[in-house]
């Protein structure tokens, strides 16, 4: 089962692709240009050039499920948030549905359902995530929505929590999110569910699957 990774060149995307390759899970990394291909080719990871703001459909060829971990990034404006985090995610979900993929695995955000409670500069992003998640949940493709808390660059503890009360904080490392993604990819019976992800003290198998 080949997984298309949209946002493969991002921080979570790269870590997930490398983990999947090491675990023998076939992935196809979607990148925007040939200049981004070197890192993946060095690791024997298949790539495809496609664009969330342009041609996209061909990237799905030969794939059974999709991971969406793309993001417009903190240095762009609301225009890119609309085109990538919202419309890009919706386009990808519609294509996954049309092509009969087995699952669409979305990296969303903790409390995306309450965008007006986010810091002002984060509100457009949270609103985009909320709308994209709602579209996915109402589409015809089976889905899994992962909602990580505040992202950090700490190493992978591979230990998780599913509530702020359990975790004692609202953060999770990008490395741990990548490990959670790998677990979901390797657990095909998990469908049509949402999970909050935080750093904690439990293995991911106790939270998901």
Q: Supply the mean pLDDT for the chain.
A: 95
Task: Give mean pLDDT, residues 78-83.
Answer: 83
The confidence score (pLDDT) of residue 17 equals 98
User: Is the sign of the CA dihedral 68, 69, 74, 76 positive or negative?
Assistant: negative
The confidence score (pLDDT) of residue 75 equals 66
Among 16-30, 71-85, 151-165, where is mean pLDDT lowest? 71-85
- The answer regarding whether domain 3-206 maps to CATH 3.40.50.720 reads yes
- How far is it, in rounded angstroms, from Cα 43 to Cα 50? 20
Task: Give mean pLDDT, residues 38-67.
Answer: 96
- How far is it, in rounded angstroms, from Cα 84 to Cα 107? 13
Q: Which position among 87, 104, 125, 143 bears the catalytic label? A: 125
Share of the chain above pLDDT 90, in %: 89
The confidence score (pLDDT) of residue 78 equals 75
Among 74-78, 87-91, 122-126, 128-132, where is mean pLDDT lowest? 74-78
- pLDDT: which is higher, 68 or 81: 68
Task: Give mean pLDDT, residues 75-94.
Answer: 88
125 included as an active-site residue: yes
- pLDDT: which is higher, 80 or 195: 195
Whose structure tokens read 């993604």?
181
Q: Is the predicted pLDDT of residue 74 greater than 70, yes or no?
A: no
Residues shown for the chain:
209
Task: Give mean pLDDT, residues 83-94.
Answer: 94
Band of pLDDT at residue 93, cut at 50, 70 and 90: very high
Task: Give mean pLDDT, residues 117-138.
Answer: 93
Band of pLDDT at residue 107, cut at 50, 70 and 90: very high
**DSSP result, the chain:** --EEEETTTSHHHHHHHHHHHHTT--EEEEESSGGGHHHHHHTT-EEEE--TTS--GGGGTT-SEEEE-----TTS-HHHIIIIIIIIHHHHHHHHHHTT-SEEEEE--TTTT-GGGS-GGGHHHHHHHHHHHHHHHTSSS-EEEEEE-EEE-------EESSHHHHSSSEEEHHHHHHHHHHHHT-TT--SEEEEEEE-SB-GGGT--
Q: What is the pLDDT of residues 175-193, one digit of tens each?
A: 999 999 999 999 999 999 9
pTM score above 0.75: yes
């Amino acid at each position: 089962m080949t997984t298309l990774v949209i946002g493969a060149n991002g921080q979570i995307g790269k870590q997930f692709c490398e983990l999947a390759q090491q675990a023998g899970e076939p992935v196809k990394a979607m990148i925007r240009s040939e200049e981004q291909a070197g890192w993946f080719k060095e690791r024997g990871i298949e790539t495809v050039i496609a664009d969330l703001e342009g041609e996209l459909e061909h990237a799905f060829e030969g794939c059974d499920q999709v991971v969406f971990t793309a993001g417009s990034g903190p240095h762009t404006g609301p225009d890119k948030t609309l085109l990538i985090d919202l419309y890009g995610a919706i386009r990808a979900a519609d294509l996954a549905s049309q092509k009969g993929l087995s699952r669409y695995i979305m990296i969303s955000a903790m409390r995306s359902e309450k965008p007006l409670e986010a810091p002002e500069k984060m509100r457009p992003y949270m609103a985009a995530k909320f709308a994209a998640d709602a579209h996915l949940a109402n589409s015809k493709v089976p889905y899994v929505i992962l909602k990580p808390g505040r992202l950090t660059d700490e190493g992978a503890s591979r230990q998780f929590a599913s509530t702020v009360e359990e975790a004692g904080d609202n953060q999770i490392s990008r490395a741990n999110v990548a490990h959670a993604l790998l677990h979901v990819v390797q657990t095909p019976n998990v469908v049509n569910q949402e999970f909050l992800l935080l750093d904690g003290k439990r293995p991911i198998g106790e939270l998901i699957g």
